[in-house]
Amino acid sequence: MSLTVPVQVLHAAPHWRCVDIVSDLHLSLDTPRTAAALSGYLHTTDADAVLVLGDLFEVWVGDDVLDSADGFESRVLRQFADCAAHCTVAMLVGNRDFLLGPRAAALAGWQVLDEVCMLDAFGRRTVLVHGDAQCLADVDYQRFRRQARDPAWQQQFLAQPLERRRDFARGLRDSSEHRKRTLGMAAYPDLDRDAMRDLLRQHQATALIHGHTHRPGDEALGDGLVRHVLTDWDLDHGSAAPRAEVLRLTAGGVQRVPLSQAC
């Protein structure tokens, strides 16, 4: 008999009427328009909860980047803190910012979500993940993921000088960008279908929400199961169509809302 692994549950408060979910903003100094759009959204949204499912930042090499109180990362997190003053804010780390730590959480005022989290809202159970752990066909990445999630590896990495960590992250990012230029969307392996179905059945849920693949859409997985894939945000690269939306959950269902209508 298989046993259900306990999972963190985020319970919607009775007064909640709207939950907004986003991911893959990949913020950096090179994305000023995207960062400004996020700031506008956080300061004007009337959502009862804002959930970020990973890759908020292009890279996070340790909470000591916050030593610069007026640095880019500090400014972004303080905007989340402003939002958290009037609604629930929660963060689930992704493959680019999995080293976000307690200092970042304290500054942002967000609740830290486990890498698999259940949202219990509006009479529905929805599994939340970033999505990278379920991309089983990407064997090389899964090998790196196991290494990078090891506490001993993280301790050793974070003990290195900040600039060395930045250099390492730049190398990983450059390799990823080269892969995307060479392979196109094939550089983003999709989540394993059986893994998604197993995850939903294990936690007695019917819907999965994830990001990571940059392929927004909704897909039936069979047997009444469905997944909703979040879009990435990109308002800074002229060669690409501007993208920015939230996935909004209400008692009426799931809706994709352009950022201009979500504020």
Instruction: Show the domains of the chain with their CATH numbers.
Output: 8-262 (3.60.21.10)
Q: What is the mean pLDDT of residues 210-230?
A: 97
Query: What digits encode the pLDDT tens for the residues 109-155?
Result: 999 999 999 999 999 999 999 999 999 999 999 999 999 999 999 99
CA 201 and chain centroid, separation: 22
**Spatial contact of 45 and 86, defined as CB atoms under 8 Å apart:** no
Burial 50-83 (b: 16+ CB within 10 A, else e): bbbbbbbbbbbbbbebbeeeeebbbebbbbbeeb
Amino acid present at 19: V
Percentage, residues of the chain above pLDDT 90:
85
Amino acid present at 129: V
Residue 3 has pLDDT above 60, yes or no: no
Q: Which residues, other chains included, contact 231 with Cβ-Cβ below 8 Å and sequence gap of 6+?
A: 24, 214, 216, 243, 244, 245, 256
Strand ranges for the chain from DSSP E:
8-11, 19-22, 49-52, 88-91, 111-112, 116-121, 124-129, 207-210, 217-222, 225-229, 245-250, 253-258
Helices (H) and strands (E) in the chain, counts: 8, 12
CA distance 110 to 88: 7
CA angle, 258 as apex, 30 and 34 as ends, to 5°?
Answer: 10
Burial 119-133 (b: 16+ CB within 10 A, else e): bebbeeebbbbbbbb
Query: What digits encode the pLDDT tens for the residues 235-261?
Result: 998 766 789 999 999 999 999 999 988
CA distance 88 to 109: 9
CA distance 211 to 129: 8
- Two tokens at 2? 């298989």
Residue 55: which region, alpha, beta or left (left: phi > 0; alpha: psi -120 to 50)?
Answer: left
The per-residue DSSP string of 41-69 comes to HHHH---SEEEE-S-SBS----GGGGGST
Residue (of 117, 96, 90) closest to 28 by Cα position: 96
Residue 1, pLDDT score? 39
Query: What digits encode the pLDDT tens for the residues 49-98?
Result: 999 999 999 999 999 999 988 899 999 999 999 999 999 999 999 999 99
Query: What digits encode the pLDDT tens for the residues 144-197?
Result: 999 999 999 999 999 999 999 999 999 888 887 777 777 766 667 899 999 999
CA distance 84 to 49: 9
**Spatial contact of 127 and 120, defined as CB atoms under 8 Å apart:** no
Residue 2, pLDDT score? 46
Percentage, residues of the chain above pLDDT 70:
95
Residue 166, pLDDT score? 94
Beta bridge partners of 27: 57
